[in-house]
Amino acid sequence: MASRAKVVGTQEQKDAMNGPKAWVVRNGPTVKSQFEQKGWPISGGALENQLRVVKGMLYDRRDTVYNGARTTLALGLMRLRLTSSTNNATTNVISEELEANGGRP
């Protein structure tokens, strides 16, 4: 089990592993019982469909997704759209802001 794995490396690296190791020790039995009950593979179901939609939205921009901050903002807008959290008022505010700033957020 991962909780008994020997950690090698510098002291800083060993200290960095304390959090994940504590998580495994604390949650390992629960995770193990869940896998035993459900079997493998476990599907994300509806999530997979949403990810296909996001992939489609990003497809035309696939060569320009290199700016982390901009990509995060774009994914946030996609999330709002997919969760139907947007409405016309939100869309208008965002559009007005982008137009006022020459397309920059």
| Residue 61 belongs to some domain of the structure | yes
DSSP structural state of residue 95: H
As given in the structure block, the two tokens for residue 80 are 């709002």
Q: What is the CA radius of gyration of the chain?
A: 21
Q: What is the mean pLDDT of residues 2-18?
A: 68
0.85 exceeded by pTM: no
Q: Which residues contact 24 (CB under 8 A, 6 or more apart)?
A: 1, 2, 3
As given in the structure block, the two tokens for residue 96 are 């007005």
Cis before 41? omega within 30: yes
Same domain, 95 and 59: yes
pLDDT band at residue 86 under the 50/70/90 scheme: low
| Residue 105 belongs to some domain of the structure | no
pLDDT at 14: 74
Same domain, 6 and 52: no
Q: Which has the higher per-residue pLDDT, 49 or 9?
A: 49
pLDDT at 56: 86
CA distance 29 to 24: 8
Mean pLDDT (the chain) is 76
Same domain, 16 and 34: yes
Same domain, 94 and 68: yes
| Residue 95 belongs to some domain of the structure | yes
Per the structure, the count of domains in the chain is: 2
Indicate the angle between helix axes 68-82 and 46-59, nearest 10 degrees. Answer: 130
